[in-house]
Amino acid sequence: MLTSDPILPGKVPSLAELFSMYRHDIFIIAASPVYLNAVEDDLVKGVAYLPCPIKQLKIASSAAYNGRLREYVRCGGTRMMKDLNANMTTLNIKHAGMLIHELE
């Protein structure tokens, strides 16, 4: 659980709850390996709610992540920076944007 008291009314306290509420949606997450490690348990619980998680969950991160969600991670790297017009701060976000465009 991310929080027991969401800041905004009507918001869900965990990614697992979000996945359970919208189990037929596609989720694209941009996250550093450190953040992924911090929310890994919550995401793993959420994956159980998705009927076809390999098609419904994509995580833009770097090869430094080596946890239980590895099969959902699409690794970005410095080679992508020029094509995405990104720097190290924006790389995962722009990589996630690319994953969204691939859905269209």
Q: Is 25 inside any structural domain?
A: yes
Q: How far is CA 43 from CA 14, 35, 69, in A?
A: 9, 11, 8
Q: Give the rounded distance of the alpha carbon of 34 from its chain centre.
A: 12
Q: What pLDDT score does 31 carry?
A: 93
Give the tokens for residue 15. 């990614």
Domain for residue 6, yes or no?
A: no
Tell whether 5 is covered by a domain: no
Report the pLDDT value the prediction gives residue 23, as an integer from 0 to 100.
97
Is residue 97 situated within a structural domain?
yes
Whether residue 10 lies inside any domain: the answer is no
**Residue 65 lies inside a defined structural domain of this protein:** yes
Spatial separation of the C-alpha atoms in residues 22 and 77, rounded to whole Å = 30
Cβ-contact 34, 61 below 8 angstroms: no
Structure confidence at residue 64 (pLDDT): 85
Containing structural domain, residue 95: 15-103
Residue pLDDT tens, the chain, 104 long: 555 665 667 788 899 999 999 999 999 999 999 999 999 999 999 999 999 999 999 999 988 899 999 999 998 878 888 888 888 888 888 999 999 999 87
Residue 39 lies in a domain: yes
Q: What is the pTM of this model?
A: 0.84
Nearest Cα neighbor of 51 from 18, 12, 25 is: 25
Report pLDDT for 3.
56
Distance CA 2, CA 71 (A): 22
Q: What is the structure's pLDDT at 70?
A: 96
For the chain, the domain total comes to: 1
